[in-house]
Amino acid sequence: SRKVIIDTDPGIDDAIAIAIALFDSKLDVQLFTTVAGNVSVEKVTKNLLKLLSFWGKDVPVAVGAGRPLLREAVDASDVHGSTGMDGYDFPEPNSSLLSEEHAVNLMYKTLMASDEKITLIGIGPLTNIALLLRMYPECSAKIDEIVIMGGSLARGNKGVLSEFNIAVDPEAAKIVFESGIPMAMAGLDVGLKALVYPEDSEKIKDMNPTGNMMYHLFKKYRGGSFNTGLKMYDSCAIAYLLAPEVFEIEETYVTVETQSTLTAGATLVDLKGYLGQPANCKVCVDVDEAKFKAWFLDSIKNCK
């Protein structure tokens, strides 16, 4: 199985992505790191520890950046609720999993101690991963690939042209994209089509305890109105690793706009080569919605 570190800001769709990753034997989650994003880093860490206690999974957790590199934090509590994971009555967080080390240091140590390369999965703002690459550049040799949910070929969901994870910390995202480490990006182009409808949620409800928990979270996601579908953004990054065949993938150069006041956080997916740079990213440009849905429902069935 493939060793991974998941950097996350749970987040309802993060919770679902984490469930799929933890229960699929093709992935071996070595570490979770948390980052301010959907809500504060304290809240997202608590959410993660609640999830791990719900599943009885013992994976170390390290707390990361409480704000973006240069900008003020902006959250998405309008989408995920004030706790960041509203809707389910979770058991107490399993605080025994919490490391005393900072996320960046524990990522570094985990990478350096591993015989195999490790894949970094970033499903929140990229602050921790950027800090890791700046503080410990030598660890790049230990990173297999950086797979993110973030960015967009077209329009945004936070700004006109910017997706939330990149919009929150554009400078961090730019550092990561320009790092030279192989990257893969599942952005809004696929995230907006990775949809769960009320009838899917009904199917999930009685599959297993995870499905039942999700059913309740879905009732609160985006204020609970989901006839037009709930977006399983972060699961797309996991799908890229476990079921890449659901996507149409193009390898190209991607960087991030950081200067503009109007478009900071926009990803420039340079399919036509205007910037004259070599490809640095495998970009999921489209998704087969039916295949994604089948994979998604199967993956939830595989959870406990």
Indicate which of Ca ion, ligand BDR, none lies near residue 163 (CB less than 5 to 8 Å, by partner kind).
ligand BDR
List the one residue from 128, 157, 162, 201 that touches ligand BDR (CB under 6 A): 157
Name the 3-class secondary structure at 249.
strand
Binding status of residue 236 toward ligand BDR by CB under 6 A: no
Q: How far is the CB of 274 from Ca ion (least distance, A)?
A: 30
Main-chain phi, psi angles of 143, to 5 degrees: -95, 125
Residue type, 140: S
List the one residue from 7, 145, 171, 234 that touches ligand BDR (CB under 6 A): 234
In 3D space, the residue among 285, 166, 199 whose CA is nearest the CA of residue 236 turns out to be 285
Q: How far is the CB of 35 from Ca ion (least distance, A)?
A: 9
List the one residue from 5, 19, 76, 249 that touches ligand BDR (CB under 6 A): 76
Indicate which of Ca ion, ligand BDR, none lies near residue 218 (CB less than 5 to 8 Å, by partner kind).
none
In 3D space, the residue among 156, 229, 164, 218 whose CA is nearest the CA of residue 189 turns out to be 156
Contact 291/7 with Cβ under 8 angstroms? Answer: no
Sequence-distant (≥ 6) Cβ neighbours of residue 149 within 8 angstroms:
17, 122, 123, 165, 186, 187, 191, 233, 234, 236, 237
List the one residue from 7, 14, 257, 270 that touches Ca ion (CB under 5 A): 14
In the complex with ligand BDR, the residue whose CB is nearer, 11 or 93, is 11
Provide the 8-state DSSP code for 274: T
Binding status of residue 40 toward ligand BDR by CB under 6 A: no
Indicate which of Ca ion, ligand BDR, none lies near residue 76 (CB less than 5 to 8 Å, by partner kind).
ligand BDR
Binding status of residue 13 toward ligand BDR by CB under 6 A: yes
Binding status of residue 163 toward Ca ion by CB under 5 A: no
Indicate which of ligand BDR, Ca ion, none lies near residue 83 (CB less than 5 to 8 Å, by partner kind).
none
Q: How far is the CB of 69 from Ca ion (least distance, A)?
A: 18
Using CA atoms, how far apart are residues 170 and 264, in angstroms rounded to an integer?
7
Contacts to ligand BDR from residues 245-304, by CB under 6 A: none
In what side-by-side order are the strands of the sheet with 267-270? 61-63, 27-34, 2-8, 118-122, 143-149, 183-186, 281-287, 247-256, 267-270
Name the 3-class secondary structure at 225.
coil
Q: With CB under 6 A as the contact rule, which of the stretches 66-74, 158-166, 252-260, 265-273 interacts with ligand BDR?
A: 158-166
Contact 261/227 with Cβ under 8 angstroms? Answer: no
Binding status of residue 79 toward ligand BDR by CB under 6 A: yes
Interface ranges with ligand BDR (CB under 6 A): 11, 13-14, 38, 76, 79, 123-124, 149, 157, 163-165, 233-234
